[in-house]
A and B are shown apart, each in its own frame.
Chain A
Amino acid sequence: MMSFTLQRVMKAFVVILGVVILNFFLIKMAPGDPAVILAGEAGSGDPQFVERLRAEFGLDQPVLVQLWNYVSGVLRGDLGFSYRNQVPVLDLILDRLPATLLLTGAAFVFSLVTGILFGVLAARNRGNVLDSIITTLALIFYATPLFWIALMAVLLFSLNLGWVPPFDMETIGAGYTGWRRALDIAHHMILPVVTLGLFYTAIYTRLTRASMLEVMGLDFVKTARAKGVPKRRIIRRHVLRNAILPVFTFASMQAGQLVGGAILTETVFAWPGIGRLMFDALMQRDYPVLLGVFLVTAIVVVAINFIADLLYRFVDPRIAIA
Chain B
Amino acid sequence: MDFVKRFSKNYGAVVGAIILGLIVLMAIAAPVLFPVDPWRTVAMPLLRPFEDAQYPLGTDMLGRDIAAGIAHGAKVSLLIGTVSTLVAVLIGVSVGAVAGFYGGIIDDLLMRFTEFFQIIPAFAMAVVLVAIFSPSITSITLAIAVVSWPGVARLVRAEFLSLREREFVQAAVVVGQSVPRIIMTQILPNAMSPIIVTASLMVATAILTESALSFLGLGDRNVMSWGFMIGAARTMLREAWWMSFFPGFAILLAVLAINLIGEGINDVMNPHLRGRKQ
Contact = CB atoms under 8 A, between A and B. Distances in A.
The answer to whether A binds B is yes
Interface of B: 115-116, 119-125, 127-129, 131-134, 204, 208, 211-212, 215-218, 227, 230, 233-234, 237-238, 241, 244-245, 248, 251-252, 255-256, 259-260, 276, 278
A282 B216 CA distance: 9
21 contacts: A15-B119, A26-B132, A139-B256, A139-B259, A140-B252, A143-B208, A145-B212, A145-B230, A145-B251, A148-B244, A151-B233, A152-B245, A257-B123, A261-B123, A268-B234, A278-B124, A278-B127, A294-B127, A298-B124, A301-B120, A302-B119
Interface in A257-303: 257, 259-261, 263-264, 267-268, 278-279, 282-283, 287, 290-291, 293-294, 297-298, 301-302
B259 A287 contact: no
Contacts of B237: 151, 154-155, 159
Contacts of A287: 131-132
Contacts of B129: 26
Interface core residue of A144, A145, A152 (most chain B CB under 10 Å):
A145
A148 B128 contact: no
B116 A18 contact: yes
A260 B124 CA distance: 5
Interface of A: 15, 18-19, 26, 29-31, 127, 139-140, 142-148, 151-152, 154-155, 159, 213-214, 256-257, 259-261, 263-264, 267-268, 278-279, 282-283, 287, 290-291, 293-294, 297-298, 301-302, 305
Contact of B216 (A15, A213, A257, A267): A267
Contacts of A264: 123, 212, 215-216
A283 to B, nearest CB: 7
A301 B119 CA distance: 7
Given A139-B259, A302-B119, 4 more contacts: A18-B116, A145-B227, A151-B244, A154-B237
B121 A259 contact: yes
A143 to B, nearest CB: 4
B163 to A, nearest CB: 24
B274 to A, nearest CB: 14
Contact of B248 (A140, A152, A293): A152
Contacts of A30: 132
Given A257-B121, A267-B216, A151 B127 contact: no
